């Protein structure tokens, strides 16, 4: 089984590439979806509340993700603290899912994660695909998607490894600065190469 890593910084359109992959029969393990479900583990949720305070707790006791995001995206130490709590559990669940697909006889599976490189997933993948875009487009997409200010968008971008540094690890780089048709063409070319391997 070929295991792909699909990564890209916030607002670059990694999810669009993921959708194209799914539409062409490639299974996706989405780290964001896995991450959402880890907070069903009450021990972990309580550790997050005790680390970051009650202001991130909704009235029903669930996690207020926006409040948590505002804390960690503006403070490197707090982002590291959150990652230290959550990432081992996320990785464990992602690798479990990969094994499930392997036993089902799937040919190609992709791990879709913004922090693939930073969280040391490279030993688990065969090929790394990086989705990039121009910074001004990235900022506009983040503002539109997250309903945040330009300053908040830039803060989120700056909290991640740069696109240039990520490119050093990539086997394939997809530029998603243009129209969807251009993106789809790039992805289909990569799928064609991968299915031939």
- Express each pLDDT in 64-114 by its tens digit: 999 999 999 888 899 999 989 998 999 999 999 999 999 999 999 999 998
Q: 3-class DSSP state for residue 118? A: coil
12 labeled part of a ligand binding site: yes
174: Cβ–Cβ under 8 A, 6 or more apart, which residues?
A: 8, 17, 129, 130, 131, 132, 183, 186, 187, 190
Domain ranges across the chain: 2-196
Cα of 117 vs its chain's centroid, Å: 10
Instruction: Choose among 132, 127, 134: nearest CA to 169.
Output: 127
- Express each pLDDT in 16-41 by its tens digit: 999 999 999 999 999 989 988 998 88
Give the pLDDT band of residue 194 (cuts 50, 70, 90). Answer: very high
Q: 3-class DSSP state for residue 123? A: helix
**Other CB atoms within 10 A of residue 195 CB:** 13
13 labeled part of a ligand binding site: yes
Indicate the CATH number for domain 2-196. 3.40.50.300
15 labeled part of a ligand binding site: yes
5 labeled part of a ligand binding site: no
Residue 159: per-residue pLDDT: 84
CA–CA gap between residue 160 and residue 162 (Å, rounded): 6
- Express each pLDDT in 146-180 by its tens digit: 999 999 999 989 888 999 999 999 999 999 999 99
């Amino acid at each position: 089984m070929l295991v792909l890593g699909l990564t890209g910084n916030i607002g670059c359109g990694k999810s669009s590439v993921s959708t194209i992959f799914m539409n062409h029969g490639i299974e996706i393990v989405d780290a964001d979806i896995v991450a959402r479900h880890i907070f069903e583990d009450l021990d972990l949720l309580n550790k997050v509340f005790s680390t970051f305070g009650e202001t991130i707790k909704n009235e029903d006791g669930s996690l207020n993700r926006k409040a948590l995001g505002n804390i960690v995206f503006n403070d490197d130490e707090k982002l590291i603290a959150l990652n230290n709590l959550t990432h081992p559990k996320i990785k464990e669940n992602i690798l479990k899912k990969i094994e499930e697909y392997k036993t089902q006889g799937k040919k190609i599976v992709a791990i879709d994660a913004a922090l693939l490189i930073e969280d040391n997933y490279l030993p688990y993948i065969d090929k790394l695909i990086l989705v990039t875009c121009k910074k001004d487009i990235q900022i506009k997409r983040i503002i539109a998607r997250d309903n945040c200010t330009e300053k908040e968008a830039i803060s989120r971008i700056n909290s991640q490894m740069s696109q240039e540094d990520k490119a050093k690890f990539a086997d394939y780089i997809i530029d998603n600065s243009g129209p969807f048709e251009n993106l789809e063409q790039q992805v289909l070319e990569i799928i064609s190469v991968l299915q031939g391997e």
